[in-house]
Each structure stands twice: as C-alpha cells, then as structure tokens.
Amino acid sequence: MIRVLLVEDDLEISKILCGYLQQTEEYAVTAVADAESAKELGRGQWDVILMDVMLPDGSGIHLCEELRPEQKCPILFISCIDDDSVITEALAYGGDDYIVKPFSNAILNARIKANLRRVQMDQERKPKGSVLCGAFVLDEESMTVQVNGQTKKLGGMELRILAFFMEHPNQYFTSAELYKKLWGKPSLGDTRTVLVHIYNLRRKIEKDPAHPRIIRNVPGRGYTFDATGLEPAENKQEKPAPQ
C-alpha cells in the first residue's frame, strides 16, 4: 500500500485525485486543504506527498522546506503555476518533482511511480564518503559539497544527479536519458524537473553558473561532466609557440 498525503485546497481537484488514486487498493490517500493541517500530519510515515504551491494559509514551498529535514519521502508539487522561477524555488527548497496542472491521471501515476522507483534505487545504492573531485569535495553522508572553502548543503535530487555525473565523467546524457537513469522510468516528455535541478546544482558548484564548466550542456549531445572545471578544449584559443 502506497501511503499518500495530498495537500490541495481545491476540494474538487482533491476529490478527483483521491478517487483516481484509491480506485484500486494500491494507494491509501489522506487529504488536507491547508498548510497547518499538513504540518500536523506531514511528519508521519508517508511514501509520497503531493503538494500544491498556493495554500490558503501559506506557501507550499515554505511548507516543503519545513517538512524536508524530517521527511525523506518524495515530495511532488502539483500546481497551475507554470513559471520557471517558481519551479526553480520549489525544487531548490526540497521538492523532488513538479507537475503543472492540468495533468492526466495517468501522468500523475507515472510520476509518482518514477519517484518511488528512484527511492528504491537510492536504497540499493551504498553512499560513498567524502570524495575529492577536482573543483569541489562531495560528502554524500552529510549531503554537502565544499567549494572554495565553503560548505553548501545539497538537496536530495541535487546529490543524486551530482553523484551520477561523478560516476560517468566525460559522457553525454540528454535530459530524457538522465530522467530515465535517475528515476528509473521514462520522463513522458517533461524533463523540466531535470533541468531545474541541474540549474540549482550549478549555482552551488560552479564558479560562474551562467557559464558552467563542470556540468556543461553541449548542443546535439547533451549534458557532460568535467570534474576539473577547466575550459573545454574546443573553446580554447591556440596559444602561440614560445619564441
């Protein structure tokens, strides 16, 4: 039984989602309509939390940030707000995925299963300790990176993406391939979650996030990881031979 906490203030949408998820015995859904009620229940044992961004008594993003230190299950935002800055903030403050309304029930089910599969993959993978990686030091146990003497906390998906890149240096992956490898299921055409997590990760490990050198996106090939953070050879100008 997959235990779901649904935080949705639109009662009609809440009713539809509960009805769909509970039409089989696979899901058990508890629904609340405000942040205060979610705080009371949010520290319980859940397999997944579905959360709207705009709640009548607060922000779902701030609620996610408050619950995240104690709640390790996937938190999926479901919102009608299709804005990159909001999506970036939602994932930066602890969200694992973001689904824009309206969406089909099949898409919701697939994204829930993908995030649960990712949790299972994480449990099967043994975390490494502190690893020196050229431009930074990654400590998987504390979920931090040390860059230029500063320690920065990583979100769960940021850690998973960075660890994956470190295990596959100088290889190329499209955003769809990254989703499939990290979540264990196809993205169904929406890979913005991957793009936003990489954006947030770059802000923590890159010297100049606007011109990344560690995690680069090469047109026609995909994302690639260079632990040294050096300028790509194809962009370097040939230096004159010494006289």
Put simply, whether the predicted model's pTM sits higher than 0.85 gets the answer no
Q: Is the pLDDT score of 238 beyond 50? A: no
**Mean pLDDT value across residues 119-144:** 79
> What mean pLDDT value characterizes the chain?
88
**Which tops the pLDDT comparison, 13 or 125?**
13
Residue type at 10 in one-letter notation: D
Question: What pLDDT, on a 0 to 100 scale, did the predictor assign at position 111?
Answer: 92
Map tokens 């906490």 to a residue. 5
Q: Is the pLDDT score of 189 beyond 70? A: no
**Segments making up each domain of the chain, as ranges:** 2-124, 130-231
Distance CA 50, CA 167 (A): 31
Q: Is the pLDDT score of 243 beyond 60? A: no
Planar angle of CA 192, 3, 191, nearest 5 degrees: 10
Architecture of domain 130-231: Orthogonal Bundle (1.10)
Strands 48-51 and 2-7 turn out to be parallel
The strand pairing partners of 28, in sequence order, are 3
pLDDT above 90: percentage of residues in the chain: 68
CATH code of the domain made up of 2-124: 3.40.50.2300
Distance CA 116, CA 15 (A): 23
Rama region for 153: left / alpha / beta (φ>0; ψ in -120 to 50; rest): beta
Cβ pair 2, 48 in contact under 8 A? yes
Alpha carbon of 125 to those of 78, 155, 164: distances in Å? 29, 17, 11
Per-residue model confidence as pLDDT tens digits over 106-129: 999 999 999 999 888 877 666 666
